[in-house]
Amino acid sequence: MTSSGFSGRRVVVTGVGMVSPLGLNVSDTWCAIAAGQSGIDYITGFDAEAFDTRFAAEVKGFNPENYLERKDARRMDRFAQFAAVAAQEACSQADLNPREMDRYSVHVVVGSGIGGISTLTEQHRVLLDRGPRRVTPFLIPMMLADMGSAQVSMVTGAMGANYCITSSCSSGADAIGVGWDLIRHSKAEVVLAGGAEAPVAPLSVAGFNALRALSRQNENPAGASQPFNRNRDGFVLAEGAAIMVLESAEHAAARGAEPIAELRGYAATSDSHHLTEPNPTGQSAATAVTEALASAGLQPSDVDYLNAHGTSTPLNDWHETKALKLALGDDAYRIPVSSTKSMTGHLLGAGGALEAALCTRVLAEGLMPPTINLDDPDDECDLDYVPNVARAGDLNVVLSNSFGFGGHNSVIVLTRPGR
């Protein structure tokens, strides 16, 4: 490994929290990922019979009152509930209580692409059916995208800066990248960073159907998310959250915290091309990969595994494959690449956060998640996508790609602690 591109303080991950379609915590989610289970099924949150897509990856069995005060939970949109619960788990794992330290040294950055769309659509229905006086006074504070970060701040007691990153499907990854930068440049000691999303609502499903972005394989929901497969026809909408406790290595060492992973690098670029389609050259996404590695002081030859954006849309999977070949050269064929969206669906603004969080487990367990439903690979997608079964390996350096509508490209580099 080289180190010429690395500068600033080292940033470590000391805690992770997850709420996902595969489980309400890190352990359950990881066990399902390792086993290649799908979290995708028919929609239960509303009657989807009239929709072109009738399935999604919903969080199952989630009762916010098991984790939060009833009054507080009722004043949060579902996405903010997810964020608050994931943050509590992350802080518990890190043995970190901001209320017992300099609270202004703990910052919060939580990404969300859409925010409280369930509350917004529900209250719009109230407005039309029952009139303006019946709209809840909590509409605005529940629908705002920054309420994920605000609620994390309130639940944990963090009193440093708290704000939301909104960059479509790169939001969660960018939030983690911003947290890395704050610590690296000594603007924070601790950052609670990640993403949260709860977009499985009638308006969202109808809108993505209008874009023809969602899979319509209604006869087999569990098999509908099939990144890099020949018959893929769109992504599967999903919900959930992931939060990571990021700390300066010095701060973690001073309080005796054991790092789970090191957040070694991050970079972001823009396609400057189209509202929804990736740039067909793949060059901008490739540059994000190259710059992320450079920020970490690493080379393609150092990379052991890559968690792809891998949405299961025809264009994304083609262009991501092309970008990886441009960025990694011959190493693109050596490096195992998988898409956990084949199991979790696409959590939009929370997707990059969940996938980065999963990468910390990849490093800790030495196990690469599979890309399930990969039975007939597309000829244009010819890399090693870890088809259908998880694979063990000696893993020290992993990458996580996140790309978003509007041309956002974000890449995170994680390593085993001390590597």
**Local confidence pLDDT in tens for the 419 residues of the chain:** 333 455 689 999 999 999 999 999 999 999 999 999 999 999 999 999 999 999 999 999 999 999 999 999 999 999 999 999 999 999 999 999 999 999 999 999 999 999 999 999 999 999 999 999 999 999 999 999 999 999 999 999 999 999 999 999 999 999 999 999 999 999 999 999 999 999 999 999 999 999 999 999 999 999 999 999 999 999 999 999 999 999 999 999 999 999 999 999 999 998 776 766 776 787 899 999 999 999 999 999 999 999 999 999 999 999 999 999 999 999 999 999 999 999 999 999 999 999 999 999 999 999 999 999 999 999 999 999 999 999 999 999 999 999 987 779 999 999 999 77
pTM here?
Answer: 0.95
C-alpha dist (Å) from residue 161 to 96, 178, 194: 17, 12, 15
CB–CB of 370/189 below 8 Å?
no
Query: Which domains are seen in the chain, by residue range?
Result: 11-254 (3.40.47.10), 264-413 (3.40.47.10)
Instruction: Provide the pLDDT for residue 103.
Output: 95
Task: Name the token pair of 51.
Answer: 């929709």
The SS3 assignment for 108 reads strand
CB–CB of 35/191 below 8 Å?
no
Is 346 annotated as catalytic?
A: yes
Q: Exactly one of 91, 107, 251, 309 is catalytic; which is it?
A: 309
Distance CA 39, CA 59 (A): 8
Distance CA 16, CA 192 (A): 9
Sign of the C-alpha dihedral computed for residues 78, 84, 85 and 87 taken in this order: positive
Is 273 annotated as catalytic?
A: no
CB–CB of 196/79 below 8 Å?
yes
CB–CB of 30/226 below 8 Å?
no
Q: Exactly one of 107, 251, 319, 346 is catalytic; which is it?
A: 346
- Single-letter residue type at 238: A
Is 381 annotated as catalytic?
A: no
Distance CA 237, CA 224 (A): 11
Strands (E), 55-128: 55-56, 106-111
- Single-letter residue type at 218: N
Residue-wise DSSP of 213-232: -B---TT-GGGS--TTBTT-
Angle at 151 between CA 148 and CA 152, to 5 degrees: 85
Bridge partners (DSSP) listed for residue 411? 267, 401
Q: Exactly one of 91, 107, 164, 169 is catalytic; which is it?
A: 169
Task: Name the token pair of 211.
Answer: 């874009």
Distance CA 213, CA 237 (A): 10
Helices 202-210 & 117-130 angle (0-180, nearest 10): 110
- Single-letter residue type at 283: Q
